Structure 1
Amino acid sequence: MRRPYVLLSCAMSVDGYIDDTTPERLLLSNAPDFDRVDQVRADSDAILIGATTMRRDNPRLLVNSETRRAQRAAQGLPPYPLKVTVTNSGDLDPDLKFWHHGGEKIVYCPDPVVPKLRESLRDLATIVGLGPTTDLARMLDDLGQRGIQRLMVEGGGTIHTQFLTQGLADEIHLAIAPIFVGDAGAPRFVNPGDFPGGTGHRMTLAEARTVDDVVLLRYLPKQASGSTTS
C-alpha cells in the first residue's frame, strides 16, 4: 500500500497572503489560472481543505469543466474527485456547500470527535477517526488503502504548514498574484513552523511560468536544489 502523492496548491499575493480580512473572499488568481487549477483538480483522485477554510470560504470544491468531468468518466473515474476535510473540533455546519455538491466526502478527525460528526452530518460524509489527534500520516495511509493515488491540498495555511513541517508534501504549486495585501491579520500560505532542513534546504524548482499576470512556481520540497528529477 502506497500513500498518495501530495500536491499543495495555493494562490498568494507577492507579500505571501492567501486572503485579506474582509468578509468577501479575495480572488488572487485570474481566469486562466482558475482554469489551470480546475485541470489539476480533474487530474487528482481527492481534494482536501481544512475545516477553517470550509467555514471561511464555504467552497463547493468541484471540477467545473463539463469536458473534464466527461473525460474522468470515460476513464472509469467518478466525475468529481473525492472531497476530504480534516477537523479537530468537529464544528462543521451540515449546511455548508461542501457537503451538497460533487461526489463522495470523507471527514478525518480525532476519535473522540467521531460520534459528534456522525450525529451532525449523518449520511453527508464518511467519518474516519485518526486516533487521539488528527494524524496526517495516518490519514494518508487510509487514503492510500482507499485507492487514492494523487491528493490535491488546497489549504488553508494551517493545513499547508502541517503537511510541510511533517515532510508529507511531494509538490507545491504557488500562483503569485501581482498584488500586495499588507494586512498583518490576514492568513498566509504557511505559518511559523519547524520545516525539514530549515534554511539549509533549498527545494528543487521544477517549473516557473507565467499564466497571464500570475507567475506559477512548481517546487518539489523533498528534493534538494540541483538534484535530478524524474
Structure 2
Amino acid sequence: MPTRPYVLLSAAVSLDGHLDDASPERLLLSNAEDFDRVDELRAGCDAILVGGNTLRRDNPRLLVNSADRRAARTAAGKPAYPLKVTLSARGALPADLAFWHTGGDKVAYTTDAAAPALRADLSGLADVVAVGHEVVLGAVLDDLGARGVTRLMVEGGGSVHTQFLAQGLADELQLAVAPLLVGQPDAPRFLGPAAYPGGPRRRMRLLEARTVGDVVLLRYAPKESTP
C-alpha cells in the first residue's frame, strides 16, 4: 500500500463563510500579499487538486506564478509546476479549460463508466484514471501516493473541502479570512452539511493565527483536538 500524501486544504473565505459571491465575476477575497503566500504554498507541494465544479465555474490555471520559485523547484530536481489534479464523477471536464493548457502534468480521476469518454475528450492533455463506480477520495490519495506525491494542496471547491474534512482525510486546514460579508444565499460556501468527525463539539487544534495584509490566516490540524 503506497503512503498517502500529506493533505493541506487551502481556501479564502468571507467573514460569513463564502468562497465567492453569486455574480458571474470572480470575487477576489485575498489581497496581493496573500496571493503571494498561496503561490509559495503551491511551490512547496507536489500536487494541487481542485474539483470539477470549480474548474467549470472559475476556469483556474493553478500555476506557480513566481519564476524564482519555479527555478528553485527545478534546481531541486522537481518539475517546474506541481502535478495538477481534478475529480469528476460524470467526466464533464471540457477540453478547452485553461487548466489543461497551462503548467505541467495533469491527472483526472473519474468513474469506470465515465472514463472511456473522458479519455477521448482529454487525449494528449491529461492522464485519466478510473477509480471504481464512484470517485473515492481514499483511492485518489492511494494513486497519488504511488505517483510519488508526498504533499497535496487542495484548493476547492466547497464540496471537495467538505468531503476531505468529513472523511477525516485532511492533515492541515489553511483559511484566509477576508474582511467581507457576502450575504447571498446562492453564493458558494466553504463547507456544506456533513457528519464531521467528532461532531459539533470537537475543537480542532489551532496551529497558527496571523495577519496577512487585511486578511487573517488561520491554520488548523483537523485530525487533532484541543482538550
1:192 aligns with 193
Q: Could you tell me which residue of structure 1 aligns to residue 154 of structure 2?
A: 153
Matches of residues 154-169 of structure 1 in structure 2 within 5 Å?
154-169=155-170
Matched residues, number: 226
Q: Hey, what does 1:92 align to over in structure 2? A: 93
1:225 and 1:62 map into 2 onto residues whose CA distance is 35
Deviation for aligned residue 1:123: 1.0
Give the structure-1-normalised TM-score.
0.97
Q: Which residue of 2 aligns with 1:6?
A: 7
- Per-residue Cα deviation, 1:160-193 (whole angstroms, up to 9, x for no partner): 0000000000000000000100001000111111
Q: Deviations over 1:91-128 (max 9, x none)?
A: 11100000000000000011111101011111100000
Match of 2:71 in 1: 70
Equivalent residue for 1:134? Answer: 135
Q: For 2:117 and 2:205, locate their aligned partners in 1 and report how far apart those are by CA, in whole Å.
A: 42
Q: Distance in 2 between matches of 1:22 and 1:113?
A: 31
Question: Is there any run of 5+ residues in structure 1 with no aligned partner, and where?
Answer: none
SS in 2 for 1:160: helix
Q: How big is the shift at 1:200?
A: 2.4
State how 1:14-93 maps to structure 2 within 5 Å.
14-93=15-94
Deviation at residue 58 of structure 1 after TM alignment:
0.3
**In the alignment, residue 20 of structure 2 is paired with which amino acid?**
D
Match of residue 111 from structure 2 = 110
- Provide the C-alpha distance between the structure 2 equivalents of 1:28 and 1:66, rounded to a whole number of angstroms: 24
Which residue identity does 2:12 align to in structure 1?
A: A
Percent sequence identity over aligned pairs: 61
Q: Which amino acid aligns with 1:145?
A: A
CA RMSD for the aligned pairs? 0.6
| SS in structure 2 at match of 1:84 | strand
1:199 Cα shift? 1.3
Compute the displacement of 1:154 (Å).
0.2
Any idea what SS the aligned residue of 2:65 has?
coil
Q: CA deviation at 1:225?
A: 1.5
Unpaired stretches in structure 2, ≥5 consecutive residues:
none
TM-score between the two structures when normalised by the length of structure 2: 0.99
Letter in 1 for 2:165: L
CA distance in 2 between counterparts of 1:133 and 1:89 reads 9
In 1, Cα distance between equivalents of 2:92 and 2:133: 17
What is the aligned partner in structure 2 of residue 179 from structure 1? 180
Amino acid at match of 1:173: Q
Question: How far apart, in 2, do the equivalents of 1:156 and 1:136 lie?
Answer: 14
Question: How far apart, CA to CA, are the structure 2 residues paired with 1:169 and 1:60?
Answer: 23
1:26 maps to amino acid = L
- Which one-letter code corresponds to 1:158 in the other structure? S
Deviates more, 1:192-201 or 1:153-162: 192-201
Give the match's secondary structure for 2:69.
helix
Moved more, 97-106 or 195-204: 195-204
CA deviations on 1:57-115 (whole Å, 9 max, x unpaired) are 00110000000000000000000000000001111110000000000000001111110
Distance in 2, matches of 1:39 and 1:225, equals 29
**1:207 counterpart letter in structure 2:** E
- The CA distance in 2 between the partners of 1:81 and 1:104, in whole Å, is 8
